[in-house]
């Protein structure tokens, strides 16, 4: 591919995507290494939080060394006089698709992917951090079937209380909406809500539903199980998902080790079955990140 331009000594090969005040590029260094480079630009004072979030994401990702967790290698700050007005974050390039764009085609593969996600989240939790924004768009699968958790922009130390509601409405846990302590059990809910959507093509009701119902909707609305919405979901897996999305964190699986164990049991059961089951929606729109 022809050279486009350089950013801080990295040759830009392509543009991978856009986010809040940010652009992600595919870049090559002078030794031929290929990376993703996130560029966050501050245009006005209120953009400062995007700069801070990018720096925090890098610093948190630096705490881990796990194959399921996307690596972050370097943060470069550009200053205008004394203020930082741009941050570049050099990250691992993941050539694949998010689960939002390319779902697992069978329940068996879905359980295998979720088990690997649980192992990555366990590594985060062991390091004292919570992802706090797990969703299909933040889980990628490569052509070689490698699983990567990405986007640590809302991640925080376990036990943190955030100064505002943060999370994706369709996957957010009750404690995030109520601005209570964020713990590893928050990731359990987010992962359960992710599995619910993958299995049913419907969102589990949360405390920030779309519409005008307000934040009490989750507490009063009965939630249909995945098996009720998709009869191809095995009973044990449906029960696991419902356990994960309990309002009360104490009623959820005790952590990612417990969740991983139950997913591995589901994998073993499905492998012994004649039909591993299908997922309700099939698509294959790949992207890179």
Any idea what the CATH number is for the domain that residue 225 is in? Answer: 1.10.510.10
* Of 47-61, 213-227, 249-263, 270-284, minimum mean pLDDT range: 270-284
Segment 26-35 shows an average pLDDT of 96
Of 60, 92, 124, the domain-final residue = 92
Look up the domain containing 67 and give its range.
5-92
Domain shared by 129 and 156, yes or no: yes
The mean predicted confidence, pLDDT, of the chain is 88
Segment 130-143 shows an average pLDDT of 96
Domain shared by 156 and 267, yes or no: yes
pLDDT in tens, 88-111: 999 999 999 999 999 998 999 999
Domain count, the chain: 2
Domain shared by 63 and 106, yes or no: no
Of 75, 92, 109, the domain-final residue = 92
Nearest 5°: phi and psi at 59? -65, -35
State yes or no: pLDDT of 118 exceeds 80.
Answer: yes
Nearest to 262 by CA among 58, 118, 79: 118
According to the model, what pLDDT value does residue 287 have?
41
Domain shared by 47 and 112, yes or no: no
State how beta strands 34-41 and 83-92 pair. Answer: antiparallel
Confidence of residue 2 (pLDDT cuts 50, 70, 90): very low
Q: What is the DSSP letter of 221?
A: S
262: in domain? yes
Segment 28-43 shows an average pLDDT of 94
Segment 243-267 shows an average pLDDT of 94
According to the model, what pLDDT value does residue 258 have?
95
- Between CA 217 and CA 207 the distance in angstroms is 6
- Between CA 105 and CA 85 the distance in angstroms is 44
Confidence of residue 285 (pLDDT cuts 50, 70, 90): very low
Domain shared by 134 and 46, yes or no: no
């Amino acid at each position: 591919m022809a050279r486009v331009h350089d950013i801080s000594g990295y040759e830009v090969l392509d543009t991978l995507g856009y986010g809040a005040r940010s652009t992600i590029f595919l870049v090559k260094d002078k030794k031929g290494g290929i990376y993703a480079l996130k560029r966050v630009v501050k245009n006005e004072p209120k953009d400062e939080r995007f700069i801070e979030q990018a720096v925090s994401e890098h610093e948190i990702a630096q705490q881990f060394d796990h194959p399921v967790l996307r690596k972050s290698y370097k943060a470069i700050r550009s200053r205008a006089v004394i203020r930082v007005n741009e941050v570049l974050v050099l990250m691992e390039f993941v050539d694949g698709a998010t689960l939002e764009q390319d779902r697992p085609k069978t329940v068996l593969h879905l359980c295998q992917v979720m088990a690997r996600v649980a192992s990555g989240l366990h590594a985060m939790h062991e390091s004292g951090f919570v992802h706090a924004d797990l969703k299909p768009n933040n889980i990628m699968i490569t052509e070689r079937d490698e699983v990567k958790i990405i986007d640590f922009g809302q991640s925080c130390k376990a036990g943190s209380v955030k100064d505002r509601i943060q999370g994706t409405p369709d996957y957010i846990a009750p404690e995030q909406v109520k601005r209570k302590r964020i713990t590893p059990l928050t990731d359990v809910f987010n992962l359960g809500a992710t599995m619910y959507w993958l299995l049913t093509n419907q969102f589990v009701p949360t405390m920030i539903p779309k519409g005008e119902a307000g934040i009490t909707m989750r507490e009063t609305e009965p939630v249909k199980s995945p098996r009720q919405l998709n009869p191809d979901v095995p009973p044990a897996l449906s029960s696991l998902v419902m356990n994960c999305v309990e309002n009360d964190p104490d009623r959820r699986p005790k952590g990612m080790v417990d969740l991983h164990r139950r997913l591995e049991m589901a994998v073993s059961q499905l492998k012994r079955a004649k039909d591993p089951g299908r997922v309700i929606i099939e698509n294959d729109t790949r992207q890179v990140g």
